[in-house]
């Protein structure tokens, strides 16, 4: 099964082509939030380099959040556009689970962290036996202090990854962090494909029209609108 996967939920844009568990090709660009300009050309270049067409793909996959509101939308829209009219299944996976997949060969606690602004991180928690992962906590948006307290209760070192790595580790006061190399901290479309493959085998797929995203919290525009409505009701 050929899988085309991508992730544009943070500053890194990444696209991969897999044959089940085997990685055939992967392009990654760490160039800031320019995904609207670079993501589709990356897909086209990857397919052309490998010498296949979009119609040759058996499964499309993308991260469905959390992450940058714009980035998540761009990734989902790209997959929807590629799958449109082709009746090829799509899978949206948790960005946090895909990040944790980078470290799945490490035994112990794995904590993906993404910068959620407003002094918070998007995070979850997994335990790996070196082969498979067990989810311990759902995707959440919490403060680093709350995360530190939560993790310290486990009483063991934790491996972190994600674009929240550099702001999380210096703020930890109770939790011991395991060292993780730079390459494994960033999003990887290969990891997206592997999480998607598990979901596909569990018959958890979508169509181009039913694929949806999960931001975990309202966007800034939505928060502003809700505040204005509350102020209007309160007569402010």
The second-level CATH assignment, the architecture, of 2-95+187-225 is 2-Layer Sandwich (3.30)
CATH number of the 96-185 domain = 3.30.420.40
CB 33 within 8 A of CB 187: no
Predicted confidence at residue 52, as pLDDT, reads: 96
Nearest of 232, 234, 235 to residue 224 by alpha carbon: 232
Helices (runs of H) and strands (runs of E) counted in the chain: 8, 10
What number of other Cβ atoms are within 10 A of residue 211's Cβ? 21
Considering Cα of 18, then 23, then 25, then 27, what sign does the dihedral take? positive
- The whole-model pTM stands at 0.92
The pLDDT value given to residue 123: 98
Instruction: Show the low-confidence residues of the chain (pLDDT under 70).
Output: 218-236
Residues 6+ apart with CB under 8 A from 231: none
pLDDT in tens, 171-216: 999 999 999 999 999 999 999 999 999 999 999 999 999 999 999 8
Intervals of CATH 3.30.420.40 along the chain? 2-95+187-225, 96-185
């Amino acid at each position: 099964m050929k899988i085309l996967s991508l992730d544009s939920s943070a500053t890194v844009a990444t696209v991969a082509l897999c044959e089940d568990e085997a990685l055939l090709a992967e392009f990654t660009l760490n160039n800031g939030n320019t995904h609207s300009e670079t993501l589709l050309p990356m897909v086209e270049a990857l397919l052309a380099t490998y010498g296949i067409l979009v119609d040759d793909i058996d499964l499309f996959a993308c991260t469905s959040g959390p992450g940058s509101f714009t980035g998540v939308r761009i990734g989902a829209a790209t997959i929807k556009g590629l799958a449109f009219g082709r009746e090829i299944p799509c899978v949206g996976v948790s960005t946090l689970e895909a990040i944790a997949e980078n470290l799945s060969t490490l035994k112990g606690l794995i904590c993906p962290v993404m910068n959620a602004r407003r002094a918070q991180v998007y995070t979850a928690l997994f335990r790996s036996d070196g082969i498979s992962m067990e989810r311990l906590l759902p995707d959440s948006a919490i403060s680093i202090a709350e995360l530190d307290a939560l993790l310290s209760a486990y009483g063991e070192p934790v491996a972190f990854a994600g674009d929240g790595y550099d702001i999380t580790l210096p703020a930890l006061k109770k939790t011991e962090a395991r060292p993780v190399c730079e390459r494994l901290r960033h999003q990887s479309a290969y990891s997206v494909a592997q999480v998607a493959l598990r979901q596909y085998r569990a018959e958890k797929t979508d169509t181009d029209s039913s694929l949806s995203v999960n931001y975990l919290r309202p966007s800034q525009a939505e928060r502003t609108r809700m505040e204005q409505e509350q102020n209007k009701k309160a007569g402010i």
